[in-house]
Structure 1
């Protein structure tokens, strides 16, 4: 799980479906079963509190972005005046007021995830060494993607946005397969890289690497 503290009242975390399964839940339970989804949510909030000291105080507003490999959740504490809401210590942890799009209509969300799958629009790849990009840039054919490169914690991250009008899922899988020979998919979010990483190349990463570093 990746956790990012946005500000005093907002925290964001990314949870892959593998992370969810390792915690004893299934993807269907998260989207279909309100009790299970709330149980998972509070487990995550306990972990976040331990790591970032983000305490639950009052109602929470929750936004969930479904991704091809997992979910990205943004949690914001509502700004309330002291006289507008008064929780006891025990009651505050039980007050769960999510965005209506999260749990109040799980059947619709399940349809979106299965019958009408979430569109696969982007990927993040991580490389242990910049040198790994050089043979990749030489080998990979032209694909309809936008890309940018960041350095973060001694690794290099390539963010790729697919052109939906040009690339179907098969083309995206082909692209991922080639890139994964030299790097791997990462759960680090573009938001985290934009805030904490360093931009190396703003566009056309592999084309630029091949131009300046290819033989």
Structure 2
């Protein structure tokens, strides 16, 4: 579990599939109101307070993004009640949660594959290994000082995706950034055919 502070009232939490399986949670469980998911959220908020000083009291907006190869990204924003639903005179007035965490959860799923690389030389090595698996795919970004390779599944041979991810995991690191954040905050270095472009312009180290 990795926690980053995005602002005074917002944090991002990256959960790997190992984080989920260690707690007996399947990816599909995140869509359900079950005790072990609630326990996981409580654990995340405790860790967020201890690591980055994020106080999770009050209403929270929770966005969960499921990524195919990386795990899950959970973005938590501290906010205010929507008094149309909760508040004086509301039909829900007596149903206000008594717990510390009051959540409004949004769930999204993305099939985009995203891996980051600290060193461009390592990315060159990975590209040469991947070249025989990928014909004309890949977009390369620079984001937070790292090189981020983005692959869309419709550009790939579905049968090769597990092997492709295995190579990416060997050379790079699954990243918690979402495609939307990359588009907004990242710098596009190679807009398309990134693997082919890298291999054409950069040789492998001997």
TM-score (norm 1): 0.66
- CA 1:214–1:200 in 2, change beyond 3 Å: closer, same or farther? farther
Query: What is residue 72 of structure 1 aligned with on the other side?
Result: 73
- CA 1:159–1:137 in 2, change beyond 3 Å: closer, same or farther? closer
- Whether 1:158 and 2:167 are equivalent positions in the alignment is no
Query: What is residue 124 of structure 1 aligned with on the other side?
Result: 115
Query: What is residue 189 of structure 2 aligned with on the other side?
Result: 201
Query: What is residue 94 of structure 2 aligned with on the other side?
Result: none
- CA 1:189–1:54 in 2, change beyond 3 Å: closer, same or farther? same
Higher strand share: 2
Query: What is residue 186 of structure 1 aligned with on the other side?
Result: 174
Which residues of structure 1 form unaligned runs of 5+? 103-108, 110-117
Query: What is residue 57 of structure 1 aligned with on the other side?
Result: 57
- CA 1:59–1:175 in 2, change beyond 3 Å: closer, same or farther? same
Instruction: Give, in whole Å, the separation in 1 of the partners of 2:50 and 2:136.
Output: 42
Instruction: Provide the alpha-carbon RMSD of the alignment.
Output: 3.6
Residue 202 of structure 1, CA deviation: 3.7
Residue 58 of structure 1, CA deviation: 1.6
1:146 to 138, 147, 162: 138
SS at structure 2 position matched to 1:13? strand
Query: What is residue 47 of structure 2 aligned with on the other side?
Result: 47
Aligned residues: 186
Residue 19 of structure 1, CA deviation: 1.5
Instruction: Give, in whole Å, the separation in 2 of the partners of 1:158 and 1:134.
Output: 12
Instruction: Give, in whole Å, the separation in 2 of the partners of 1:37 and 1:163.
Output: 29
Query: What is residue 93 of structure 2 aligned with on the other side?
Result: none
Instruction: Give, in whole Å, the separation in 1 of the partners of 2:43 and 2:168.
Output: 34
Instruction: Give, in whole Å, the separation in 2 of the partners of 1:200 and 1:173.
Output: 26
Query: What is residue 114 of structure 1 aligned with on the other side?
Result: none
Which residues of structure 2 form unaligned runs of 5+? 89-96
Instruction: Give, in whole Å, the separation in 2 of the partners of 1:133 and 1:95.
Output: 41
TM-score (norm 2): 0.69
Residue 41 of structure 1, CA deviation: 0.2
Residue 33 of structure 1, CA deviation: 5.6
Pairing 1:31-42 to 2, within 5 Å after superposition = 31-32=31-32, 34-42=34-42
Decide whether the 8 Å contact of 2:58 with 2:100 is kept in 1: no
